[in-house]
Amino acid sequence: MTSALTIHTYGNQSGPTVVVLHGLSDSGTNFPDLVARWQQDWHIVAPDMRAHGTSPRFRPQEMATSGEIMHADVLEIIDAQTEPVALLGHSMGGALALRAAVARPEKVWALVLEDPAHATGGPSPSDVSTRFGEFVAEVSARMERGELDRLIAEGTWSPTETREWAISKPQVQRDYLANGLHLGGQSWDELIAALTVPTLLVVPARDSVAPPGSAAGNPLLTEVVIAGAGHCVRRDQPEAYFDAVETFLASHRG
């Protein structure tokens, strides 16, 4: 499957590999500040997940199994790496990263979840799909009107982060947002109970997408709460985010 995906690679080809999985409506180019910070030391693999960026679209008959198809995509990406990887995911990408680490613990030496989406074992509620589709449509319309500079000026993130975030919105498959949002058949609690990989969960103090009490029940999972951040912790409070993540990864690298 993944041979058809767009996979961006950055950084030091001889360094340890970190696979980074983006959130819903983003793309593999949406980690510019991470790339700038880590490119000297890390080999960074950043796919455009299916229905995002320039990767293939879901066919109508695939909508009901989109979560399983994305899961298979991620497994193929990490299986293709010559050594175990650090796996990092945000929101939707966090849910996918968690499933992959449970399925392939021998291929993941550390897992970082940035405010991961709450896997319920079923499709996303229709009101969530509707609201998100409307949000993507609004940003896409502004991009079509040539308002990229205005979006950057209005944002609180770095210009490089806002730019890539905005560019990715018109690329998303709209009928996937309307009909295909599904994180797979395993719930958050089931996945956390099965986790055997050292894991860092980075969440904001409030407005978290991750479920309450998300770090409970597994001693391999450490939770760090970042004050002053919303759902996009890495963009809202980059220094606090990178301090937590880099400390965690350094403590588990062999």
User: What CATH number should be reported for the domain holding residue 39?
Assistant: 3.40.50.1820
Any alpha helices (H) in the chain, and if so which ranges? 32-38, 66-79, 92-103, 126-144, 148-154, 159-168, 174-179, 188-194, 233-236, 238-252
pLDDT reading at 149 higher than 80: yes
Pairing of strands 43-47, 7-11: antiparallel
Q: How far apart are CA 234 and CA 240, in angstroms?
A: 8
pLDDT score of 1: 43
pLDDT score of 215: 63
Q: In what order do the strands lie in the sheet with 7-11?
A: 7-11, 43-47, 17-21, 85-90, 108-114, 199-204, 221-226
223 touches 201 (CB < 8 A): yes
Residues 12-40 have pLDDT tens digits of 999 999 999 999 999 999 999 999 999 99
Pairing of strands 108-114, 221-226: unpaired
Residues 155-192 have pLDDT tens digits of 999 999 999 999 999 999 999 999 889 888 888 889 99
CA distances from 239 to 91, 185, 229, 235 (A): 19, 35, 11, 9
Q: How far apart are CA 23 and CA 116, in angstroms?
A: 9
Residues 203-245 have pLDDT tens digits of 999 877 877 666 667 999 999 999 999 999 999 999 999 999 9
DSSP H/E element including 108: strand 108-114
242 touches 236 (CB < 8 A): no
Q: How far apart are CA 116 and CA 124, in angstroms?
A: 14
pLDDT score of 183: 86
Residues 113-143 have pLDDT tens digits of 999 998 877 777 777 788 899 999 999 999 9
Q: How far apart are CA 28 and CA 59, in angstroms?
A: 21
pLDDT score of 26: 98
Burial class (CB in 10 A: 0-12, 13-18, 19+), 145: exposed
Q: How far apart are CA 20 and CA 95, in angstroms?
A: 12
DSSP assignment letter at 124: P
Task: Give the number of domains in the chain.
Answer: 1
DSSP H/E element including 90: strand 85-90
φ/ψ of 55, rounded to 5, equals -75, 165
pLDDT reading at 3 higher than 80: no
Query: Which domain range does residue 180 map to?
Result: 2-252
**Residues paired with residue 100 on neighbouring β-strands, in sequence order:** none
46 touches 85 (CB < 8 A): no
pLDDT score of 148: 98
Residues 76-123 have pLDDT tens digits of 999 999 999 999 999 999 999 999 999 999 999 999 999 999 887 777
